[in-house]
Amino acid sequence: MGVGMMSSMGGWMWIGWLLGVALLILLVWIIIRFVAGPVIPRDGSPEQILKRRYARGEMDHGEYDRRLDDLRR
């Protein structure tokens, strides 16, 4: 085999390694996402968000109670 042929094969080997590593990373990411469960929003639970909105005066007590009941159903 000539030198050009060897370097060409070496390039394909690197691509194969990179694809293998990429697939391994993807597999680990999928497993972590599956085991970790759903992502909790940074703002908190829906009830916490509702409490903050009520505290800021965005709704009156009646609306707060109605929405809280809806969330708890």
Categorize the per-residue pLDDT at 7 as very low, low, confident or very high, splitting at 50, 70 and 90.
low
Residue 4 pLDDT: 55
Here the tokens at position 43 are 């703002």
Q: In the chain, what are the domain boundaries?
A: 1-39, 40-73
pLDDT of amino acid 52: 93
> What sign has the CA pseudo-torsion 47, 49, 55, 57?
negative
CB 38 within 8 A of CB 13: no
Q: What is the pLDDT of residues 12-68, one digit of tens each?
A: 788 889 999 999 999 999 998 888 877 666 778 899 999 999 999 999 999 999 999
Return the percent helix, strand and coil in the chain, to nearest 5.
75, 0, 25
